């Protein structure tokens, strides 16, 4: 069995007596693209809150580290420290610097302790410049590098934000409902982008759109969350035909 990169074991989180996450156990392996689905309120975003240190579990373990790198107990670290270890998160709504250009948004996201002004006036090394150029192509915004980010279409803002996350070169990317509000074509492109990141990065993608889930989960595993626990895990087809899943999720017309 390979060593998991991220181990979440028997984790619970209660809000005002309500168990948002309940005895959740989950492993993510290096280079994998894992899709997480589940009805509204299943605990998907809370799961990300716990991994990223935005919320602390009431009990359980969350460890991050590969077979070769030292393991870290994430429950004892701050949001900032967890991010610095290489876990990046993309929230559902894009948050780009609207008044800055696409290129500047990427520059501002480079790792480093610089403030906004220092970042913008700092001379990039040619390696940094090449890397950002490649990133621009990857997120398909090279033709719009001088555009103010605020003028981009919704889907393009989402891609820019994925680019901003990638500028930090995270080991793990947590992506929450990236296809929400996108056109079918944008959704498909987003799927291609995320698929192209697997291998070099490890990803957990939370999503509702089943066409999109089918696209990105063609090789990987799908985890179904229900009432804060794992209801089932497997290939897309196995999960889709699982009667328990159909009952709590697919059967409700959430396709």
Nearer to ligand ADP, 15 or 91 (CB): 15
Residues contacting residue 200 through CB under 8 Å, at least 6 positions apart: 31
**Of Mg ion, ligand ADP, none, which one does residue 15 interact with (CB within 5 to 8 Å by kind)?**
ligand ADP
Q: By CB under 5 A, what part of segment 202-241 binds Mg ion? A: none
In 3D space, the residue among 168, 145, 159 whose CA is nearest the CA of residue 84 turns out to be: 168
- The distance of closest approach from Cβ of residue 212 to ligand ADP in the complex, given in angstroms and rounded to an integer, is 16
Q: Does 52 bind Mg ion (CB under 5 A)?
A: no
Residue 130: count other Cβ atoms within 10 Å of its Cβ.
11
Query: Residue 40 binds which one of ligand ADP, Mg ion, none, with CB within 5 to 8 A depending on kind?
Result: ligand ADP
Angle between helices 154-167 and 102-109 (to 10 degrees): 30
> What is the binding site for ligand ADP (CB under 6 A)?
15, 18, 20, 38, 40-46
Instruction: For residue 45, state whether it binds Mg ion (rule: CB under 5 A).
Output: yes
Under DSSP, the state recorded for 30 is T
Of these partners, ligand ADP, Mg ion, none, which one is at the site of residue 38 (CB under 5 to 8 Å by kind)?
A: ligand ADP
Secondary structure class of 108 (helix, strand, coil): helix
Q: Which is nearer to ligand ADP, 40 or 68 (CB)?
A: 40
| Contact in structure between 211 and 45 (CB atoms under 8 Å) | no
Residues engaged in binding Mg ion (CB under 5 A): 44-45
């Amino acid at each position: 069995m390979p060593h998991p990169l991220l181990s979440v074991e028997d984790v619970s989180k209660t809000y005002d007596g309500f168990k948002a996450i309940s005895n959740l156990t989950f492993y993510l392996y290096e280079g994998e693209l894992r899709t997480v689905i589940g009805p509204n309120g299943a605990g998907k975003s809370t799961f990300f809150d716990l991994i990223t240190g935005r919320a602390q579990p009431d009990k359980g373990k969350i460890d991050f580290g590969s077979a070769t790198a030292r393991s870290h107990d994430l429950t004892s670290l701050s949001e900032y420290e967890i991010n610095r270890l290489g876990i990046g998160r993309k929230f559902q709504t894009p948050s780009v610097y609207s008044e800055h250009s696409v290129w500047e948004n990427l520059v501002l996201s480079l790792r480093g302790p610089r403030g906004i002004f220092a970042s913008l006036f700092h001379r990039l090394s040619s390696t940094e410049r090449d890397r950002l150029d490649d990133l621009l192509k990857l997120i398909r915004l090279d033709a719009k590098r001088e555009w103010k980010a605020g003028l981009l279409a919704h889907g393009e803002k989402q891609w820019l934000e994925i680019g901003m996350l990638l500028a930090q070169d995270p080991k793990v990317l947590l992506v929450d409902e990236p296809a929400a509000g996108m056109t079918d074509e944008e959704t498909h492109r987003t799927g291609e982008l995320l698929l192209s990141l697997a291998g070099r990065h490890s990803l957990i993608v939370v999503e509702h759109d089943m066409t999109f889930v089918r696209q990105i989960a063609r090789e990987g595993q799908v985890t179904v969350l229900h009432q804060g626990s794992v209801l089932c895990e497997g290939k897309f087809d196995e999960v889709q035909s699982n009667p328990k899943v159909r009952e709590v999720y697919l059967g409700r017309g959430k396709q």
